[in-house]
Chain A
Amino acid sequence: MGTENVQPSIVQQVVQLAQLDNLLAIGRANSLWPMTFGLACCAIEMMATGASRFDLARFGAEVFRPSPRQADVMIVAGTISKKMEHAVKTLYDQMPEPKWVIAMGNCAISGGPFVFEGQYGIVEGADKFLPVDIYIPGCPPRPEALIEGILELEEKVTGTRRWPRVKAG
């Protein structure tokens, strides 16, 4: 899900291509373009993360693209209803590789507060039909949590954590 398998045919190209791989990974991680996919309440916290106080632009990810063809990462922010499931899958399929999925909020992780005995309307989690890379719990998660999720995704893409971790307490 991110780094492509390169099959070099000439041995000395392996070293040079590995460096190129790392360079590409850093480039991708530093400019993740999310798709505007706010479904419900988490969308507002996603907007707040992109807005003035929390400023996702510091991490290169403020360019929210409405079109899936231009996006790298789909932040599933909100509850996925059964009626919407098909549209979500279509949008995911339309994104070009390499692509990632962040499940933001409890609804995208496992259905959230809307799971009850006899529920008829929602899909209990985005990972029922999408390959999810990062899970951000919360209802809704704070903007800082979404930023941490983006940084975790960057770690997944590049292999190293490039921003300091905030220690609790």
Chain B
Amino acid sequence: MSHLAQTQTQETFVLNLGPQHPATHGVLRVKLVMDGEYIVHAEPVLGYIHRMHEKMGENRTWAQFMPNTGRLDYLSALSYNFGYAAAVERAAGITVPERAEYIRVITTELNRISSHLLWFGAFVLDLGGFTPLLYAFDDREQILDLLESVTGSRLTYCYFRFGGVYNDIDDNFVPGSLAFIKRLRARMPMYHDLVTKNIILMKRLIGIGPISAEMCRRYGATGPVLRGSGVQFDVRKNEPYSVYPEFNFDIPVYHECDSMARYMVRMDEIEQSMRIIEQACNKLPEGPIMAEKAPKIIKPAPGDYYFSVEAARGSFGVRIVSDGTNTPYRLKLRSPTFSNLSLFAEASQGMLLADALALMGSLDLVIPEIDR
């Protein structure tokens, strides 16, 4: 449990964490008022990578905005492609063929695994362990090979189109994915034995950074942060979209509310994503990958629409306000990490600085997604 320092004096000093710092995962600056090693007040300062996505939304046609979505949270870029494409399809009334939905789900879940693997490597790197990063990147490169053969990109995907996907999978994709899953399933026990059950990691994470479900509700936290606090909420089950209802998968929930719980949620999610990919690969139907009646120029009916998907970091929402023309009138991107980080100021009070970094790593931050 975090506790305030028992000091007689009230001498505090201001410490600046970032914007260039190895553990802030991007350009985040945190103004810390410190009492020795204990944090009295932490104030994140954002905006160092504000890239004007929402303004660009108003200056681009609906289709021209798609590359931006890959650059929001580049680690799970396909989820962001998904959210935006599905929002516009909802607004314009376009139905996606089944094969395209399956391909969307398979590629998105592969992307989720690669995002969690990178988070795992970077998180343990923050805590001081360098080697798991190299192993995690090795597995991640295999996923990137698979996704590159289909989408053409390694990182900032722009693969979805309104009405489907633009490129069909080749013959090696399904056997390659299943072989990869077999390989990763055999490697996960190694990660758990060497890292999860490591006494140093356990001491660094268990009991550190408690975030209650009530705090999550007040701040709007979603994703593994919320599921590590005992709440079973996942957009894929709560507001099901695409073909997720057809798959058998669990939502890992841990009730301890500490950093270890959030860590375990993500590790278990890797296994659940593998289950989804296996089922989808085995049930993949034949058919077209683009809707036949998808219009060439998208002009959704006037009004506002919302679509929410489960990205690797939480619930990503797109609110589009259309005025019937071929450019959005307003495009709001609801970023999960924005809400997750907003509770950092309250959650880190009275913590040791090193513990606060463990808390920040367990929140899984990607700053360009916060700053948009």
Direct contact of A and B (CB under 8 A): yes
Residues of A within 8 A of B (CB): 36-41, 43-45, 47-48, 51-53, 64, 66, 78-79, 81, 83-84, 87, 91, 113-114, 116-122, 139-140, 142
Inter-chain pairs besides A44-B75, A83-B48, 7 sampled, C-beta below 8 Å: A36-B20, A44-B74, A66-B22, A81-B51, A87-B48, A118-B55, A140-B154
Which residue of A81, A114, A120, A139 is within 8 Å of B47 (Cβ)? Answer: A81
Least CB distance from B331 to A in Å reads 14
Cβ-based interface call for B71 (8 A): yes
Contact B52 A40 (CB under 8 A): no
Chain A interface, >50% SS class: loop
- Bound-state CA distance A147–B228 (Å) is 39
Interface size class of B (residues with CB under 8 A): 35 or more
Residues of B near A45 (CB, < 8 A) are: 154-155
Q: Known: A79-B49, A113-B68, A118-B59. Contact between A44 and B26, CB under 8 A?
A: no
Least CB distance from B66 to A in Å reads 11
Residue of chain B at shortest CB distance from A118: B59
Residues of A near B67 (CB, < 8 A) are: 113
- Bound-state CA distance A114–B50 (Å) is 10
Residues of B near A120 (CB, < 8 A) are: 52, 55
CB-based closest 3 A-B pairs? A51-B137, A41-B74, A84-B48
Residues of A near B48 (CB, < 8 A) are: 39, 81, 83-84, 87
Cβ-based interface call for B327 (8 A): no
B81-119 contacts to A (CB < 8 Å): 118
B1-57 contacts to A (CB < 8 Å): 19-22, 26-27, 47-52, 55-56
Least CB distance from B159 to A in Å reads 15
Cβ-based interface call for B252 (8 A): no
Cβ-based interface call for B368 (8 A): yes
Residue of chain A at shortest CB distance from B137: A51
Task: Give 30 pairs: A residue, B residue, CB < 8 Å, sorted on A.
Answer: A36-B20, A36-B22, A38-B26, A39-B27, A40-B26, A40-B49, A41-B71, A43-B26, A48-B137, A52-B141, A53-B138, A53-B141, A66-B22, A78-B49, A81-B47, A81-B51, A81-B371, A83-B50, A84-B48, A87-B19, A113-B67, A114-B51, A114-B52, A117-B59, A118-B59, A122-B51, A122-B52, A140-B154, A140-B156, A142-B154
Contact B56 A83 (CB under 8 A): no
Which residue of B47, B134, B155, B156 is within 8 Å of A51 (Cβ)? Answer: B134
- Bound-state CA distance A103–B244 (Å) is 42
Contact A83 B47 (CB under 8 A): yes
- Bound-state CA distance A89–B67 (Å) is 29
Cβ-based interface call for B135 (8 A): yes
Q: Known: A52-B137, A66-B21, A91-B20. Contact between A121 and B27, CB under 8 A?
A: no
Which residue of A40, A84, A121 is within 8 Å of B19 (Cβ)? Answer: A84
Residue of chain A at shortest CB distance from B121: A51
Cβ-based interface call for B133 (8 A): yes
- Bound-state CA distance A44–B71 (Å) is 12
- Bound-state CA distance A39–B154 (Å) is 18
Q: Mark B185-207, 1 if CB is under 8 A from A, else 0.
A: 00000000000000000000000
